[in-house]
Amino acid sequence: MSSSTRPPASALHCPTTGSVPARPGFIVPPYLLARLAEADAHGMPRAAEAARRSLLADPALRVERERAAVATPAAPASVWAAATPTVRRTIFDAGNAESLPGRPVRDETDAPADDVAVNEAFEGLGATYALLLEAFGRDSVDGAGLPLLATVHYGRDYDNAFWDGERMVFGDGDGEVFGRFTASLSVIGHELAHGVTQYTAGLVYEGQSGALNESFSDVLGALVEQHQRGQRAEEASWLIGEGLFTEAVQGRALRSMSEPGTAYDDDVLGKDPQPADMAGYVDTRDDNGGVHLNSGIPNRAFALAATELGGFAWERAGRVWYDALVGAPGAPAPVSPRATFAEFAAATVTAAHARFGAESTEASAIDRAWRTVGVRSDDDPR
């Protein structure tokens, strides 16, 4: 694993500046947009054009986000923190321009809008806030009541959604391959989880720590969806980005946590390239060292542990992953910003011991899951 190598500055989708690795953000990884940019060969000129423009626009956005997000304070007692945790959402409309934040169109005092994207963003922020508070006792992304902001209708045919360090931003999609990005609750939860990671462990968005950053966002995205639906682990789809693809695409979602590598297999998009265990680990300089690829490995460890334990995934496996990320009473905390898969796995096992006991079914299921995906081995203590 080459965590210190940096993607070439010449690559279209990579940040062009210096020493700070790119910050997390985009739900659609660069390799998928690169495939999509060839979609005109498959009779999808609008999707191809949209993907090419997204690839060109993204480096500038990434640089902006780095500036915004480099120094994130530990959650302060903020001026807006209320005695009773309360969600505070504001949705903006960019009107298909690429300037942020756009025009405010809905906040907590307003009735639902006539615009489905506005309402989906509003409800999605609320569902994420509800999971964080009800499952983990966390008051918003920063733990101190941070208002939740989102902009919809960003750009024209824009094929992505991202967290810019301050807000969520959603494109409408090109209409040929991708529909609107507010349609998937797991995407909304995924993006806001990048904010949680930013305020806690600060996992560096590169190599294995970057894949862990991506994976934690998928974990939280899946949990937000399951929590909102009242779904148990064994009933869940474990898909990230279900509902984003149009019917023209041979695929279920962007990623599958339970079966990485099987989310899509399509003429235009190719086959889902995620590995399901360490034997398939991808060494690459692209995609910040494969952050959206190798995240399949810890994703599957989570899905395996949660499914074996059964019940609501946020109560046990989810609680342990959260404890490992933020640090919790009795558990060593938070994992280091450059944590490897093995270090994060060890942190979850320790956190499971602290919360549920060393002999607990939770601790053994989590340990077993990491062994199944090849991150832990016989050399590791149980």
- Residue of 54, 128, 217, 340 interacting with Zn ion (CB under 5 A): 217
What is d(CA 233, CA 305) in angstroms, rounded to the nearest whole number?
A: 10
- Cβ–Cβ < 8 Å for 362, 373: no
Q: Which residues contact 39 (CB under 8 A, 6 or more apart)?
A: 45, 47, 48, 51, 176, 177, 268
CA 13 to each of CA 8, 49, 175: distance values in angstroms, whole numbers, following the listed order: 10, 15, 22
Q: How far is the CB of 176 from Zn ion (least distance, A)?
A: 23
What is d(CA 113, CA 299) in angstroms, rounded to the nearest whole number?
A: 35
When the beta carbons of 295 and 307 are compared against Zn ion, the nearer one is: 295
When the beta carbons of 300 and 353 are compared against Zn ion, the nearer one is: 300
Q: DSSP letters of 120-132?
A: HHHHHHHHHHHHH
ω into 381 cis (within 30 of 0): no
When the beta carbons of 36 and 291 are compared against Zn ion, the nearer one is: 291
DSSP reduced 3-state for 255 = strand
Q: How far is the CB of 213 from Zn ion (least distance, A)?
A: 7
What is d(CA 85, CA 222) in angstroms, rounded to the nearest whole number?
A: 23
Per CB under 5 A, the segment of 96-104, 213-221, 227-235, 306-314 that binds Zn ion is 213-221
Q: How far is the CB of 292 from Zn ion (least distance, A)?
A: 7
Q: Cβ-closest residue to Zn ion?
A: 217
Per CB under 5 A, the segment of 35-43, 53-61, 152-160, 212-220 that binds Zn ion is 212-220
Q: How far is the CB of 308 from Zn ion (least distance, A)?
A: 26
Q: x-or-dash pattern for Zn ion, window 291-320, by CB under 5 A?
A: ------------------------------
Active-site annotation, residues: 191, 292
Q: How far is the CB of 25 from Zn ion (least distance, A)?
A: 6
- Paired with 151 in beta bridges are 92, 169
When the beta carbons of 163 and 314 are compared against Zn ion, the nearer one is: 163
Residues binding Zn ion: what is the number (CB under 5 A)?
A: 2
- Cβ–Cβ < 8 Å for 351, 334: no
Q: How far is the CB of 256 from Zn ion (least distance, A)?
A: 16
Instruction: Extract the tokens encoding 14.
Output: 């990579």
- Cβ–Cβ < 8 Å for 309, 363: no
Interacting positions 18-37 with Zn ion (CB under 5 A): 24
When the beta carbons of 24 and 30 are compared against Zn ion, the nearer one is: 24
What is d(CA 20, CA 66) in angstroms, rounded to the nearest whole number?
A: 8
Contact flag: residue 288 with Zn ion (CB under 5 A): no
When the beta carbons of 145 and 171 are compared against Zn ion, the nearer one is: 171
Q: Which residues bind Zn ion (CB under 5 A)?
A: 24, 217
